[in-house]
A and B are shown apart, each in its own frame.
Chain A
Amino acid sequence: MADPVAEVPSWRFQRAPDRLVVDDVEVALRRDGAGETVLFLHGVGFLRQWLPFHAALTERVDLIAPEHPGFGDTPLPGGFRGFLDYVLHYDALLALLQADRLHLVGHGLGARLAAHMATVYPSRFASLTLIAPSGLRQEQEPLIDLFRMTYDALHAAQFNGREAAYADTYALKGFPQDTLDDVADAVPHALLTWTNRFDRRLERRLHRIQCPTLVIAPEQDRIGGTTAAARYAELVPGSALVTPAGPGGDPSSYAVLIEQPAEVAALVADHVDSTTKGN
């Protein structure tokens, strides 16, 4: 969670969040659009913003985009220890919003969390979309250790070296506040994954997912790894795998939803539509 001492300047995609109290946690949440309700679970990075990807999705769906406990402007409750705490948190959040029919979309770590939710509640969601999901791998793929990367290296990995053009999505407040925010956001990230880099339990449970599932796999994911998305697609029954081409002939990246917001939003919305209109 952000350091409360910090001043709050403005940045390009800033949009003040709404607040929703969920089991004593004051959640920072942004919501817009109309149509089928979609819960979007963010990944590592690009917080505190309403990005073009969000805006593009709201043209076709009712988008709910909260910040997870411990990330962005949502505080981390003392008792949170693992994915189940986050799953139960979102169960409570959805109950508060009375969102009975719902589509689930996640990016990176958020996709992994979405997959956990769909295994715990296999018949609850109308569809599931995993964008550059992390936390699984096929054998022999080396670990990408995000916790040892400098923040510059992390941004380069997110965009496959094209990060300079997107600095306004990760350089928001300047030094030292951006670093303090990154450090703070890394705590719940570590809580979930430091001793659970590859999620054996999830791997064993993915077969429980019953809803139509789309896996969006970047051509070169330097955050989640090159085999993670394929592994999800292999284990989630009946899932479809799609790989968007990258910009200008370069391989698409973990930040595919920032580099190609309209295209990814269309993939998500089409998948949502495909499960609601019988086509």
Chain B
Amino acid sequence: MVEREFFVMLHGAYPKVPYAPKRGSNFVDLPNGVYDKAEGQRVLERQASTFVSLEELGFDGGVVSEQHNGPIGLLGNPMIMGAYVAAQTRSIKIGVVGPIINDYLTPVRMAEEYAALDNLSRGRLLLGLPMGHGMQYHSIGMINPATARARYREAHDLFVKALTHEGPFEWFGEYFQIPYVNLWPRPLQEAPDILILGGGSPETLELVARHRYGYQQVGAFSQAAMKKTTDRLRELCEAQGYSVSPRQIWGLVSVHVAETDAQARLEAEAHSLWNSQNFFLSPFNDNFPPGYLSQAAMRGVLGGGYRSESSEKNTFERSVDSGTLIVGSPLTVSTRLAEFLATLAPGRVLLDFGLDSKPEWLGRKTMQLFAEEVMPQLRNGGVPVSQHRKLPGYESRSEYGATRNPDSPEPVVNLGTGGLINVETSHIASERLIVEPWRA
């Protein structure tokens, strides 16, 4: 059986909002007067506790995203949730997909945040580098979409170099001019584990292939569409001179499990449509601010590609028939998910349980059924890959003592006694020994 990883998408959407078709969309300018503080706290706490529970349930990790200006998600910076989860868990991967690099004045700041969180999580950080929804460009106030792609590409290159190269080095680009890029702290992972979420644009697929990143298509209307994109990625990787790794292929699928097929539909139908009619609904001009897509990609959209059709028109049957939604008993879900896995051959599966509008108990029920009844059918022994590996960094103070570099400089100080002494032993009178002559 293939060693496969299972992740859970945690949108953290705020569900108690007006019916989106009444106003066309709840993105961008839904007045925050409808925001209830108690409800918002519940949403954030639920997102956090669900993320932490993934470890106990046996998933490999969770994924949270950066959202702005509306109920689609309440994390302006998903690193914050990542830090919380890092403190509460030991082994699961922590997916933050944001952060949106164009939201930063400098990618060096993002690299610093990434590196700090990578240390605090013991190298468990999984990073997304999204362009951000088109809708976000209307509200974040920093990015001109006309130059966003070019800025993104340069920011990406600088970000990755800052993480993976020793500093200081200079960076004089079109968008960033930095005499000394010199990252402190440095991340634990030798190379960042990067997942790119995209709508299938050729530019993004080429970037993924070139850097051997993971790729997850979003907004696809069918398994067949996802397969087509995945096949294209395989070709691009071959063109780069290597075969795509299973870990590069992500498979996103919405799932709901209940005791029987009929019960599963009863539990899932309204919530699935809530997502289509409220969560995803957004008009063309909000989706695609000027320059957000290339002309070639836009031609594809107008011909039936990413977000080319209003999500409001989606039906439960269509989602099930297209394979983007799998609903049923554990046996049904296992069978259909096995077919999905056979079609796409993803090394990493991103499961969307549509938790946002479901009562918390219902979300926990379906996730527990999936963990106990479905995942074991799809993975040897039911043990997550994340529990197999030795994490980067040290496990204990003993290991720290064994692995730290003995040649690192000691912290020293000049007390005016004719030389530098080691401050770590300065509290012991007999150890105030001059370790190096110094006259100043």
Known A148-B285, A150-B284; judge A191-B302 contact (CB<8 A): no
Could you say which of A24-32, A97-105, A182-190, A259-267 contacts chain B?
A182-190
Tell me, yes or no, whether A249 is within 8 Å of chain B by CB.
no
What residue in chain B is nearest A82 (Cβ atoms)? B144
Known A176-B302, A190-B290; judge A183-B144 contact (CB<8 A): no
With an 8 Å Cβ cutoff, the count of chain A residues facing the other chain is 22
Tell me, yes or no, whether B291 is within 8 Å of chain A by CB.
yes
The reply to whether A147 and B285 form a contact with Cβ atoms under 8 Å apart is yes
Interface string of B276-304 (1 = CB under 8 A from A): 00000001111011110001001100110
Q: How far is the CA of A230 from the CA of B113 in the complex (A)?
A: 48
Known A176-B299, A187-B291; judge A81-B286 contact (CB<8 A): no
Shortest CB–CB separation between residue A5 and chain B, in angstroms?
8
Known A148-B28, A179-B302; judge A191-B138 contact (CB<8 A): no
Q: How far is the CA of A5 from the CA of B142 in the complex (A)?
A: 33
> Among A5, A180, A184, A187, which residue has the most Cβ atoms of chain B within 10 A?
A187
Shortest CB–CB separation between residue B112 and chain A, in angstroms?
25
Q: How far is the CA of A5 from the CA of B141 in the complex (A)?
A: 34
The reply to whether B295 and A191 form a contact with Cβ atoms under 8 Å apart is no
The reply to whether A191 and B28 form a contact with Cβ atoms under 8 Å apart is no
Interface string of B127-147 (1 = CB under 8 A from A): 000000000011001111111
Tell me, yes or no, whether A92 is within 8 Å of chain B by CB.
no
Shortest CB–CB separation between residue B372 and chain A, in angstroms?
47
The reply to whether B291 and A190 form a contact with Cβ atoms under 8 Å apart is yes
| CB neighbours of A188 from chain B (8 A) | 146
The reply to whether A183 and B290 form a contact with Cβ atoms under 8 Å apart is yes
Known A3-B295, A176-B303, A180-B302; judge A150-B146 contact (CB<8 A): no
The reply to whether B144 and A191 form a contact with Cβ atoms under 8 Å apart is yes
The reply to whether B290 and A194 form a contact with Cβ atoms under 8 Å apart is yes
Shortest CB–CB separation between residue A251 and chain B, in angstroms?
25
The reply to whether A148 and B286 form a contact with Cβ atoms under 8 Å apart is yes
The reply to whether A180 and B147 form a contact with Cβ atoms under 8 Å apart is no
The reply to whether B141 and A150 form a contact with Cβ atoms under 8 Å apart is no
| CB neighbours of B302 from chain A (8 A) | 175-176, 179-180
The reply to whether A195 and B144 form a contact with Cβ atoms under 8 Å apart is yes
Majority secondary structure of chain A interface residues (helix, strand, loop or mixed): helix
| CB neighbours of A34 from chain B (8 A) | none
The reply to whether B138 and A148 form a contact with Cβ atoms under 8 Å apart is yes
Q: Contact check: which of B141, B146, B284, B299 meets A187 at CB < 8 Å?
A: B146
Interface string of A135-156 (1 = CB under 8 A from B): 0000000000101111000000
| CB neighbours of A187 from chain B (8 A) | 146, 290-291
The reply to whether B295 and A147 form a contact with Cβ atoms under 8 Å apart is no
Q: How far is the CA of A195 from the CA of B138 in the complex (A)?
A: 10
| CB neighbours of B295 from chain A (8 A) | 3, 180, 183-184
The reply to whether B290 and A147 form a contact with Cβ atoms under 8 Å apart is yes
The reply to whether A3 and B299 form a contact with Cβ atoms under 8 Å apart is yes
| CB neighbours of A194 from chain B (8 A) | 137, 144-146, 289-290
- In B140-176, the 8 Å CB interface with A consists of 141-147
Shortest CB–CB separation between residue B277 and chain A, in angstroms?
20
What residue in chain B is nearest A81 (Cβ atoms)? B147
> Among A148, A180, A188, A191, which residue has the most Cβ atoms of chain B within 10 A?
A148
Shortest CB–CB separation between residue B182 and chain A, in angstroms?
28
Q: How far is the CA of A149 from the CA of B283 in the complex (A)?
A: 10
The reply to whether A195 and B290 form a contact with Cβ atoms under 8 Å apart is no
Q: How far is the CA of A176 from the CA of B283 in the complex (A)?
A: 17
Interface string of A160-185 (1 = CB under 8 A from B): 00000000000000011001100110
| CB neighbours of A81 from chain B (8 A) | 147
The reply to whether A150 and B285 form a contact with Cβ atoms under 8 Å apart is yes
What residue in chain B is nearest A1 (Cβ atoms)? B295
Q: How far is the CA of A187 from the CA of B291 in the complex (A)?
A: 5
Q: How far is the CA of A180 from the CA of B288 in the complex (A)?
A: 12
Interface string of B10-31 (1 = CB under 8 A from A): 0000000000000000001000
Q: Contact check: which of B137, B141, B147 meets A191 at CB < 8 Å?
A: B147
Known A3-B295, A148-B138, A150-B283; judge A190-B303 contact (CB<8 A): no
Q: How far is the CA of A147 from the CA of B286 in the complex (A)?
A: 8
> Among B143, B288, B295, which residue has the most Cβ atoms of chain A within 10 A?
B295
Shortest CB–CB separation between residue A12 and chain B, in angstroms?
24
- In A179-224, the 8 Å CB interface with B consists of 179-180, 183-184, 186-191, 194-195
- In A4-26, the 8 Å CB interface with B consists of 5
| CB neighbours of B137 from chain A (8 A) | 194
Beyond known contacts A148-B138, A179-B302, A194-B145: 16 more, CB 8 A cutoff: A5-B299, A147-B138, A147-B289, A148-B285, A148-B286, A150-B283, A150-B285, A180-B302, A183-B298, A184-B295, A186-B291, A190-B144, A190-B146, A190-B289, A191-B291, A194-B289
Interface residues of B (CB under 8 A from A): 28, 137-138, 141-147, 283-286, 288-291, 295, 298-299, 302-303
Pairs of residues from A and B, 5 with the lowest C-beta to C-beta distance, nearest first = A186-B290, A190-B290, A191-B146, A176-B302, A190-B146
Interface residues of A (CB under 8 A from B): 3, 5, 81, 145, 147-150, 175-176, 179-180, 183-184, 186-191, 194-195
20 inter-chain pairs at a CB distance below 8 angstroms, sorted by A residue, are: A3-B295, A147-B285, A148-B285, A150-B283, A150-B285, A176-B302, A179-B302, A180-B298, A183-B288, A183-B290, A183-B298, A184-B295, A188-B146, A189-B290, A190-B144, A190-B146, A191-B144, A194-B144, A194-B289, A195-B143
